[in-house]
Amino acid sequence: MSEKVYGLHAVRALLERHASRVGGVTIVEGRAEPRVAEIQALAQKAGKAIKRAPPATFKQLFGDAVHQGVYVDVQPLEPWHEEELVAGITAQLEPPDGKGKGSPLVLVLDGVQDPHNLGACLRTANACGALAVVIPKDRAVQLNATVRKVAAGAAEATPLAVVTNLARTLRLLKDAGLWIVGADAEAPKLAQETDLSGPIALVMGAEGSGLRQLTRDTCDLLVRLPQRGEVESLNVSVATGMLLYEALRQRISAK
């Protein structure tokens, strides 16, 4: 079943990278600007139907969301199951061509509630080369139109693994060869003092409450970001971005 993805950046990314999954493009009546013209050109190049719809149609579909006057019908990227996640890790650790070994990077979100945070985390995970993003099925935001818009195409490129028991999944990731690194503001070690260049799962807690106790206990080690200001904690998507880029920095330096 197709889903509707709105927003200029998200639509452009889909047409550029995953046009085969796009069914058609709808643009609000009266909207004419260079970015819309770019969307039209990409749609025409991909052989996709383009239609116009009145503002009332967008209001009915998306309410007060900032849709920017464009949406596409897209065949969604199917969520990964635990088996596919483990298979993806194994493929990076033991590539079939036998040419070296990779260092899989998996992002795990322990109960993030805000769709804007999930979308931002997906976008940064994609930019940093993460294999997948893992979220629990219950007590956490799921993939929706807002997440897709904020992710700006990353939700269609980076697999999202939805699991029923996060602690069990973390143990499976350990067995598959990953170190489980949790983020905690009270951790004794700083992220830059920790080797994040190898195969790791980076685990981030929920807004406000952080890591659940069982999740924290399942981690191999905990790290924190340095802080000099007066705020007690960072937004989870901001902290995730900083830690992912620290892992990416170390991976680039290690080559």
Please tell me whether residues 66 and 91 are part of one structural domain.
no
pLDDT at 230: 65
Please tell me whether residues 20 and 95 are part of one structural domain.
no
Please tell me whether residues 135 and 176 are part of one structural domain.
yes
Please tell me whether residues 250 and 138 are part of one structural domain.
yes
Closest CA to 123 of 3, 255, 7, 254: 7
Contacts of 177 by beta carbon, 8 Å cutoff, 6+ apart: 89, 90, 93, 104, 199
Overall domain count for the chain: 2
* Tokens read off for 235: 């937004």
pLDDT at 121: 96
Write down which residue in 74, 101, 116 finishes a domain: 74
Please tell me whether residues 236 and 114 are part of one structural domain.
yes
Please tell me whether residues 42 and 163 are part of one structural domain.
no
List helix spans (H) across the chain: 8-17, 34-45, 55-62, 82-93, 115-127, 145-151, 166-176, 213-218, 236-254
3-state DSSP call for residue 28?
strand
Contacts of 222 by beta carbon, 8 Å cutoff, 6+ apart: 181, 182, 183, 184, 187, 188, 189, 216
Please tell me whether residues 133 and 193 are part of one structural domain.
yes
Residue 133 domain boundaries: 82-254
pLDDT at 45: 94
* Tokens read off for 18: 């995953």
Domain CATH code at residue 107: 3.40.1280.10
Closest CA to 76 of 169, 141, 9, 158: 158
pLDDT at 97: 61
Write down which residue in 18, 43, 74 finishes a domain: 74
Domain CATH code at residue 51: 3.30.1330.30
Mean pLDDT per segment of 10 residues, for the chain of length 255 residues?
82 87 92 90 94 94 89 86 94 71 92 94 94 94 86 84 96 96 93 95 92 95 85 85 96 84
pLDDT at 64: 86
Please tell me whether residues 144 and 226 are part of one structural domain.
yes
Write down which residue in 35, 52, 74 finishes a domain: 74
Please tell me whether residues 40 and 109 are part of one structural domain.
no
Please tell me whether residues 118 and 158 are part of one structural domain.
yes
Closest CA to 104 of 84, 124, 89: 89
Residue 39 DSSP symbol? H
Please tell me whether residues 246 and 175 are part of one structural domain.
yes
Q: What is the pTM of this model?
A: 0.81
Please tell me whether residues 8 and 114 are part of one structural domain.
no
